[in-house]
A and B are shown apart, each in its own frame.
Chain A
Amino acid sequence: MTEYKVKFEVFEGPLDLLLYLIKKDEVDIYDVNLTQLATQFIEYIELMRMLDLEIAGEFLVMASTLMYIKSRELLPVEQQVTVEGEDEGEDPRWELIRQLVEYKKFKDAAAQLQALEARQDSVYPRLPVKPTFGQEAPKDRGSVSIFDLLNAVNAVLKRVSHREDLRDIFEDKWSVSDKIEELRRLLVERGTLRFSEIFARAESRSEIVVTFLALLELIRLRHLVCSQPEQFGDIEIARAPMPPSAAEAEPAANNNHLGAAQQPAKEEDTSIKTLST
């Protein structure tokens, strides 16, 4: 056995090869001499075999069909055997020609699609960006201080304060690092979050506090920024434009107006106390 096997890909299949042979002879598909075509086809298969190309099964099926057609033509009509139980059916020659004509049409259609594809490569749709008139100015006014954040979280805490049952003690279900992960994931998914959104599903005071600490921690690490697009509006949280790795390298350069957020995440318990008083 030879080591090298070349996949015979010049022809898409037996029909493709037949069309090639017909085209080479410059005859109409309907006028084609099938016996001659059969000879040429089999010569090609022999050639493929000699070049040690893998011959797909379809080629062999076609070869046998052609041989059948050829053999039929060798016998006078009256001597031809009709296989019992098998209907005379379509003339196998017509069947093959019909198949060839049909395949040829789709091959031509494919060429037209190819032309369209190439054309479409050069067509550029007009896609204007959404007009952003004067969006820049309010962004500056909307920067949020730590007191804005505290006020906001206070409002949220008030919302749940009456709901909490103070007689029972629950284990802490949430940790700051979990919440950091959740916030990060949400920001990746959604791009921006509103302050009220991140507390919307909070079940208890402690969860709100832990979420708030996670938010502060992410601000301290400069992973995200807060802004207030309109006065008294909801605070918006977005991912920081700066790569966070650069910010982590210099944690000393903390944002001055967010200085209070420097509580390390480990001191969870004390900070909760501070904030819940």
Chain B
Amino acid sequence: MELKFILESILFSAQQPLSPKELRDLLATAAEHDEEGTAKPFKKTSPDAIATALEELAREHNDAARSYRLVCVAGSWQFASEPEYAPWIKALVGHRNRPTRLSQPALETLAIIAYRQPLTRTEIEQVRGVAVDGVMQTLLERGLVEQTGRAEIPGRPMQYGTTSAFLEYFGLKGLEDLPAADELRRIPVQKPESLLTVDPGLATAPPEQLQMQEQPAPEPPKDQPESQPSA
């Protein structure tokens, strides 16, 4: 018997997502209660071996292109339907209690926390350029972020990070599963060598544009006919 199919059968009947560790415990329990000896060989399967088998199984389900997949959310595995079949499942199970969608500020703040965690409120505000108090309150209340500790800098401010509820909400396997994760981590934005428009002391804008306007324009600024950047 193959490990991956044993795992498949367990996950097929499981009432909740299971982690490789939980699956290992199940394999051990099955081996203890088994009298015929078929479960014995899997008694000491390592969580790593289980994870590998699950990955393979997930790939197989993916290749089969059926209406459901084996997915890993926040480190635990389960079967889930593909999004395009939602209309029919919705008709079957009725209204589902999903919390309301997050607002744009909330999503931006959450993105910053997710990629840069752990970080302080001030650090979030530095990136966003606006205060985040209200948004943070929402995110904390919804359990998507939590306090993870204190920064060892003057004042020892609170640091924040995302929770496993965050991973579940977005259907992510783990933080490494975030889109373009490596690019947005703590690597600072590289200063380009020669891209800056002008050197100090060289005004590039035409004089008329540099004049102060006494009367502000009553309508929103239209596309300026003036010069395009020189670069």
Instruction: Flag whether A269 is at the interface (Cβ < 8 A).
Output: no
Mark contacts of B170-214 with chain A using CB atoms, 8 A cut-off: 1 yes-contact digit, 0 otherwise.
111000001110011000110110011111111111000110010
Are A43 and B213 touching (Cβ within 8 A)? yes
Given contacts A73-B203, A76-B201, A126-B78, contact A116 B170 (CB under 8 A): yes
A50–B96 Cα distance when bound, in Å, is 45
Q: Which of B108, B114, B203, B220 meets A12, CB within 8 Å?
A: B108
Secondary structure of the B contact surface, majority rule: loop
Are B231 and A31 touching (Cβ within 8 A)? yes
Given contacts A72-B200, A80-B200, contact A101 B110 (CB under 8 A): no
- In chain A, residues 56-100, which have Cβ atoms closer than 8 Å to a Cβ of chain B? 56, 58, 62, 70, 72-80, 91, 93-94, 97-99
Q: B14 contacts which chain A residues (CB < 8 A)?
A: 128
Instruction: Flag whether A47 is at the interface (Cβ < 8 A).
Output: yes
Mark contacts of B212-231 with chain A using CB atoms, 8 A cut-off: 1 yes-contact digit, 0 otherwise.
01001111110110111111
The closest CB in chain B to the CB of A121 belongs to B98
Given contacts A33-B197, A35-B203, A109-B184, contact A124 B81 (CB under 8 A): yes
- In chain A, residues 154-204, which have Cβ atoms closer than 8 Å to a Cβ of chain B? none
Q: A70 contacts which chain B residues (CB < 8 A)?
A: 210
Q: B204 contacts which chain A residues (CB < 8 A)?
A: 33, 35, 73
Are A13 and B128 touching (Cβ within 8 A)? yes
Instruction: Flag whether B49 is at the interface (Cβ < 8 A).
Output: no
A131–B126 Cα distance when bound, in Å, is 53
Q: B9 contacts which chain A residues (CB < 8 A)?
A: none
Which of the candidate stretches A22-30, A132-140, A247-255 sits at the interface with the other chain?
A: A22-30
Q: Which of A73, A97, A98, A124 meets B202, CB within 8 Å?
A: A73
Residues of B within 8 A of A (CB): 12-17, 68, 71, 78-86, 89, 93, 96, 98, 101-102, 104-105, 107-108, 110-112, 114-115, 126-131, 169-172, 178-180, 183-184, 188-189, 191-192, 195-205, 209-210, 213, 216-221, 223-224, 226-231
Jot down 10 A-B pairs with beta carbons below 8 A, ordered by A.
A39-B205, A43-B221, A58-B131, A75-B201, A93-B197, A102-B189, A122-B83, A123-B71, A124-B96, A128-B15
Residues of A within 8 A of B (CB): 12-16, 24-25, 27, 30-36, 39-40, 43-44, 46-47, 49-50, 56, 58, 62, 70, 72-80, 91, 93-94, 97-99, 101-103, 105-107, 109-114, 116-131
